[in-house]
Amino acid sequence: MNGIKNAIRRIGKPIVTIARDFLEPTPEKVVVGWHTISNGPAKGCQILLPAPSGFVDSIVPGKYEPLCTQIMEALITRDSVCFDIGGHYGYFTLVLASLARDGRVETFEPVPSHAKRIAESAARSNLSHVTLHQEAVADVASTMTLRYAPSGNFDSMGYLDSCGGVASEAAAEQYPNFETISVPSTTLDDLLGLNPDFIKMDAEGAEAAILRGGMKMLSNSKVRLFIEVHGIRAAFECADILRRIGYRAILLGPQEATMPMLCVSERDTSTLEAVKKILSDTPNFMFEPNPPPST
């Protein structure tokens, strides 16, 4: 009897597989192509995006990270100098460059395919004041190992090996398939002469390393930092660094695997007032500056 059952299973399995394949729709092929942003500060800009994807659905109508965009609109003037660290597909590079029309945008993206697309998007959008740096920002100027999603995988993940990446379910699934290359790295203090007013940072776990490499820049200026912090451990590391030099952090989302926060000098009262107006509420401070030592 068992032999008959096994024979039926062997015969029936390929039939079931064929039927399932016939009934289930074939996944639509993802293709990178040109799209025009239809709303928001980057309205009219051209951007290369994979489609179909959630990125197209949110970026094209100007709905991607709306609070972050509002913060940028409130804080960036026409002559601002902005850094975009971790440029990804280049949406925020286009937003920053559209707001700082008479200023400059320096974008840092070590993944070759992303860097190429950002440069092409900026050129096609007539944003000649964007400079693309195909390198990582870290705590040392050196050559570092980058692990990233290979061509054809449109996941946003990519990380510096020395910084360990991001601990998440998606990361555990994607990381084993990553390619490895060597990339040049620089530090914020090496870029001190560029005098940024605003830094957007989304570096897949390298946030604290970037801050450690920028202590001169951050200690001697009131640069505003918009940081996508990856994990609570990274948040504590960033807090320890920034509190010591008089920064406070306003949490702009729930405390989850990734947390957006705006970090500003305690002397920067104008930014605090601007953020209060946007939030229509008392800001949720993730940390405050360390108190001065008692005498």
Complete edge-to-edge strand list for the sheet that includes strand 179-186:
136-137, 179-186, 143-148, 158-160
Asked, for residue 244, whether it belongs to a domain, the answer is: yes
Asked, for residue 33, whether it belongs to a domain, the answer is: no
Beta carbons of 225 and 251 less than 8 angstroms apart: no
Q: What is the pLDDT along the chain (295 residues), one digit of tens a residue?
A: 555 555 545 555 555 455 455 555 565 788 899 999 999 999 999 999 999 988 999 999 999 999 999 999 999 999 999 999 999 999 999 999 999 999 999 999 999 999 999 999 999 999 999 999 999 999 999 999 999 887 655 566 788 999 877 777 777 777 788 889 999 999 999 999 999 999 999 998 899 999 999 999 999 888 999 999 988 888 889 999 999 999 999 988 777 778 899 999 999 999 989 998 898 778 888 888 887 666 5
Beta carbons of 257 and 168 less than 8 angstroms apart: yes
User: Burial letters for 162-197: b for 16+ Cβ neighbours within 10 Å, e otherwise?
Assistant: bbbbbeeeebeebeeebeeeebebbbbbbbeeeebb
Asked, for residue 22, whether it belongs to a domain, the answer is: no
* Rounded Cα distance, 33 and 78, in Å: 30
Asked, for residue 51, whether it belongs to a domain, the answer is: no
* Rounded Cα distance, 5 and 145, in Å: 54
CATH number for the domain that contains residue 176: 3.40.50.150
Geometric angle at alpha carbon 215, from 211 and 220, rounded to 5°: 125
Asked, for residue 133, whether it belongs to a domain, the answer is: yes
Give this prediction's pTM. Answer: 0.87
Beta carbons of 157 and 166 less than 8 angstroms apart: yes
Structural domain count of the chain:
1
* Rounded Cα distance, 179 and 148, in Å: 6
Asked, for residue 12, whether it belongs to a domain, the answer is: no
Asked, for residue 191, whether it belongs to a domain, the answer is: yes
Range of the domain at 80: 63-287
Beta carbons of 122 and 145 less than 8 angstroms apart: no
* Rounded Cα distance, 242 and 245, in Å: 5
Asked, for residue 177, whether it belongs to a domain, the answer is: yes
